[in-house]
Structures are given as C-alpha cells and as structure tokens.
A and B are shown apart, each in its own frame.
Chain A
C-alpha cells in the first residue's frame, strides 16, 4: 500500500478503509444500510462529492463524535469503491485531516451500489422509548 504524501494529502491505497456516518433511520431492519445514507442535498454542484473519513487517519469514535449521538458508522474499502468505478481521494479539511471524498456517484443506483459494499461498523444508539 502506498501511503506517500503529496501536497499534504495521502495516497489512498486499495486496502484503505473508509468511514461514513449514517443516521439511525438509515439502518434497515435486515441490518444493512439504506442507500439514502449516500444521497446528497439537491444543491450540491457541480459534481457530487461524498464525504468519508480515512480510517487510518481517525478512529470510529472520533468520526462519530463529529455528529449528534443518533448516528451509526459504516465502513467500506477503497478497493470496492474503485471496483464500482468511482474515485476516492484524500481531501483534508480544517479540523478533519481524515476527510476524503468519493467522486462519480451521480445517480440513485450509484448510491445503492455504494450501500451494498458498506458494512455496519458501529450501530447507532437505539431510539429512546417514547411510551
């Protein structure tokens, strides 16, 4: 795996793992993730960029801590992302050196294919009882 840094960014190897938070509503009853977890706001232009975190630059806990406590964590491999025809690259942001983007997913089908190769790493907390 080549992790060489160029201009402050890491090369993403096929063996690299990527984290994606998902809202608890996106957990299907069969334990998989609804592809809505990969949809973007309609205002996103010009090309969709799906945010993920590079696993070796963060931790599951740190990734989940960036959102309210109603999220679970999905994990997928860079190899699977590329096999589907998408690209993934490291794009650090202020405050998140692990930030990466998946590029090329432009349709619902693309999002469904990404969801199919995503595994649940951390389940979201259960909804509070409202009885």
Chain B
C-alpha cells in the first residue's frame, strides 16, 4: 500500500530538528527497561512504525466533520510534524526499548492537529502537533498520592523528546 505519511518527510533528515540525544536527559530516577538491542528489535520496531504510518495515512484522508462533532480536517503541517516525530522516536528509542517506544495512539484532533500518546498508567504523555506544526504535550504522572498534569502548549523538539524519554524509559 501507499504510505502517504512518509512522503511528508522525504528528503529531510530525521535529525534536522532534534539536535541532541534525548536519552541523556531522562530523569535520574528513570530506568531503562531494555538496555541492549535484541536481535529481533529492529524487525519489531519496523512493525510499529508501519502501524503508525498506516494510522497517519488514515488520518490524512479525513475531511471536515470527520469526528461527527464538527472537527476540522488535519493539516498537512500537523501530519508532517507528527510523521517526523514518529520517525525520530522510532530511530532513537525504538532500538533501546521497543515495547515502551511504541505509541499507544496516533490520533487526529478536532482542531486540525495530530496527537501521539506514549505510556500507560501511571505515567503517560500525549504529544500534539497543532495545525501550524507547533508541538506541545500533556504529561500525566499518577505515581504519587496526587495525580499531576503538566500541560504545555508550545515546546521545543528537545523538550518533547526529553518528555517522551521520561515515559519510555520509566517502568
């Protein structure tokens, strides 16, 4: 099948924007679940990238009112940004922690953006690309007695990757 999402990033470097390795910025309490690549990790991580690309393909075809509640169609910029982020996470984190690096969801947003979620309770993150391609996130931590939500509407690539690493490498 055609993988439309990949075409949005063709000809660009995966590492053009994320300029520093995010794994180095994970918090001191983070633990790496899979410290070494296994012989099958490459094959497995390719499969989740295919799944994610298929999701983006589906999302790219959505029109106005796609959610039946008046949602705006996803913008090309949002899809391109989401595609680049997925490929970056796949390349940087997929080899180290395949299971944890696989997104829980790649989903459209009613404002024309795209949302990608990682992690399960008690630690989760939803990264969103708004219609103009600006990245933000909602980080949820339920490990303590009080559930905390950290909501950021605009964040750098480095910050986004730091936050994803905090979820991916925390078990």
Contacts and interface: CB of A to CB of B under 8 A. Distances in A.
B104 A35 contact: no
A94 interface: no
Contacts of A40: 69-70, 110-111
A67 B102 contact: no
Contacts of A34: 104-105, 107, 115, 117, 126
Contacts of B91: none
A5 interface: no
B149 A109 contact: yes
Interface string A42-53: 111000000100
B115 A36 contact: yes
A28 B106 CA distance: 8
A112 interface: yes
B143 to A, nearest CB: 15
Contacts of A43: 72
B104 A127 contact: no
Nearest to B153: A108
A41 B67 CA distance: 10
A6 interface: no
Contacts of B111: 39-42
Nearest to B152: A108
A114 to B, nearest CB: 13
A59 interface: no
B107 A26 contact: yes
Interface of A: 21, 23, 25-30, 34-37, 39-44, 51, 66-68, 71, 107-109, 112, 127, 130-131
In the A-B complex, the 9 residue pairs with the smallest Cβ-Cβ separation, listed nearest first, are: A67-B68, A109-B149, A42-B111, A28-B104, A34-B105, A130-B1, A25-B107, A28-B105, A36-B115
